[in-house]
Structure 1
Amino acid sequence: MPASPPIDKNTEFARCLESNRISSLAPFHWLSLAIADMVRAPMLSLIYGLVFTAIPVTILYLIYQLDTHLVILPAAVAFALIGPAFAAGLYDVAWELEKGHKPTLGHSLKSMFRNPAGEWGFAILLMVIMIVWMRLAALVHALYPNVPNPTFEQLQSFLALGSLIGGILLMSVFAISAFTPQIMMERRVDIMTAVVSSINAVKNNASAMIVWAFIILFLVLFGFATGGTAFIVIMPLLSYASWHGYIAIIKTKKPRGYE
């Protein structure tokens, strides 16, 4: 009986890329490198920052003008679809700087199609998770006390279940998305390999990723507190920092020297 051909690890489906272990405070170093990237590519950072800023500003404007929260779901779905694509453009800028090249808008836009099946598949995955969250939120809202000025005791069930479901979904999305887009863009692997590798990297660096999650949360809340205008700086900053986190954590055969 002839021997089976060896498995090509480069084409193996849903494999897990190895990850390094980093210090808990490493995310602050990623931010310092991200600031340097913004200084080296100010116009591209501004262009992408304006694109990202338009989304939360539009959401806030529609909520204020229409006096309804019904616009949040379609806006969130739209952001889930186009957000990863534009983030890939910023990752490409950081990658070009890493290689010592001069980044251009044209080159960064092409990066959105380096791994179209994976990148758009990931966008659809995020969209599905958002829709599930919205449906669960509607179900949880049914527990809200049907009385004016409810007491804390009356709100306990509503708050407890809502916090539990929201926390689980947030942690899941964070683990899934921490490094998945970067892996798919650079290595052109399948979406399952990228997702499994991202989850494994987050698990192996739990303390650092908790710090990173709180940094993201603080900056996003600050962005909305400024009416969305601060996202002009915040989104390029977070995207560049995420790229440096990817470089530091996901192992490569050769040292990259840009961490």
Structure 2
Amino acid sequence: MSQHFKETPRNAITESGIARVIPCKELDISDPIKWLSLGFQDMKRAPGISLFYGIMFALIPWAITALVAMTGWHLVIMPAIVCFMLLGPFLAAGLYDVSWEMEKQHKPSLRHSLRAMKRNAVHEWGFAVLLIVLMIFWLRVASLIHALYPPSYDETYQSFIPFLAVGTFVGMIFTVILLFISAFTQPILMERKVDLATAVLTSVNAVWENKLPMFIWAGIIFSCVVLGFLTAFIGFIFLMPLLGYASWHAYIDAITTKKPRNYV
């Protein structure tokens, strides 16, 4: 399927004079469904590789939960989550490589996808560290909200509404920030030899120019993550590869290239 620009490439950040980034294209509100459909096609074309990465994404949170249950040491959650956030972008890079190989009419392989993780390793590690810093800051703000919340002996649901409202509002702010800086950063770093700042600013610009489609996409991702937790992480075996492949197609649709892309 040939990818065509829907309008002249746009770059809000460049126009504002902040920085020079890779321009984006205009997305349609129906595009997230198309990305899922294309991602599902990729899964069917590479079932073995998809299963491998799906199991990896399911085993990590399961191992964290099992470790806490066995030791009763809840402090292990923080370093475990940090390790997951360090490994997550590299696992996602492997999925992007599978879709990229299909786009180039190559037969994807597990070995090639694993090698893709070190294609732009320095900046990918930097991106992982950026996610960790954001996560730690998020947790510190949540702790501050909890500490400043006045103690009450009235433990009814109504008494917790203000606390829950503030926490939800702050959580939404951090979630939106995460969407802006991470939507397209990883595939940009994997395919293009650019620095982390360029990748992040390009992602921010693309989300800003396509707010409605990207927030629909964020809602789909959130729903899949919730479903994965509700199924005791078993759902991640299918959902994470699907989201990984779909994210690559989102990147193809959103970020411009010098030559038109073709994908079958």
Judge same fold: TM > 0.5, yes or no.
yes
Unaligned runs of 5+ in 2: 1-17
What is the match of residue 163 of structure 2? 158
| Pairing partner for 2:190 from 180, 185, 191 | 185
2:261 corresponding residue in structure 1: 256
- The one-letter code of the counterpart of 2:180 is A
Equivalent runs, 1:102-113 vs 2, <5 Å: 102-113=107-118
1:15 aligns with 2:20: yes
**Given the alignment of the two structures, is residue 34 of structure 1 paired with residue 72 of structure 2, yes or no?**
no
Distance across 2 between alignment mates of 1:136 and 1:48: 33
In structure 2, relative to structure 1, the CA distance for the partners of 1:75 and 1:149 (3 Å cut) is farther
One-letter code of the match for 1:82?
Answer: L
Aligned counterparts of 2:69 and 2:229: Cα–Cα separation in 1: 14
Alignment partner for residue 233 of structure 2, among 228, 231, 234? 228
Q: Give the secondary structure class of the aligned counterpart of 1:236.
A: helix
Q: How does 1:12-161 map to 2 (within 5 A)?
A: 15-67=20-72, 69-161=74-166
Partner Cα separation in structure 2 for residue 164 and residue 187 of structure 1: 35
Identity %: 51
Structure 1 equivalent of residue 3 of structure 2: none
**What is residue 7 of structure 1 aligned with on the other side?**
none
Q: Quote the residue 1:8 is aligned against.
A: none
1:247 aligned partner: 252
> Could you report, residue by residue, the CA deviation over 1:33-91 in whole angstroms, capped at 9, with x for unpaired residues?
00110111111111111111111212332344445543332221111101001100110
Equivalent residue letter for 1:121: G
SS of alignment partner, residue 15 of structure 1: coil
Residue 13 of structure 2 aligns with which residue? none
Aligned equivalents of 1:238, 1:165: Cα separation in 2: 26
Distance in 2 (alpha carbons) for counterparts of 1:69 and 1:224: 18
Q: Which moved more, 1:54-63 or 1:165-174?
A: 54-63
Matched, 1:212 2:191: no
Number of corresponding residues: 247
| 1:2-53 superposed Cα distances (whole Å, 9 cap, x missing partner) | xxxxxxxxxxx96311111111111110000001101111111111111111
1:154 positional shift: 3.0
Instruction: Give the secondary structure class of the aligned counterpart of 2:108.
Output: coil
Alpha-carbon distance between aligned partners in 2 of 1:94 and 1:202, rounded to the nearest angstrom: 22
The aligned amino acid for 1:249 is A
Letter in 2 for 1:118: H
Give the Å deviation of 1:153: 4.8
Question: Which string of whole-angstrom CA distances, capped at 9 and with x for unpartnered residues, describes residues 93-114 of structure 1?
Answer: 1100111101111211111111
Write the distance in 2 (CA, Å) between the matches of 1:257 and 1:106.
Answer: 24
Q: CA RMSD in A?
A: 1.8
What is the TM-score with the length of structure 1 in the denominator?
A: 0.90
In structure 1, how many angstroms separate the alpha carbons of the residues matched to 2:212 and 2:122? Answer: 32
Alpha-carbon distance, 1:155 to partner = 2.4
Question: What's the TM-score once normalised by structure 2's chain length?
Answer: 0.88
Structure 1 residues without counterparts, runs of 5 or longer: 1-12
Q: Aligned partners of 2:80 and 2:111: how far apart in 1?
A: 27
Distance 2:158 2:231 in 1: 34
Q: Contact (CA 8 Å) 1:144, 1:155: kept in 2 or not?
A: no
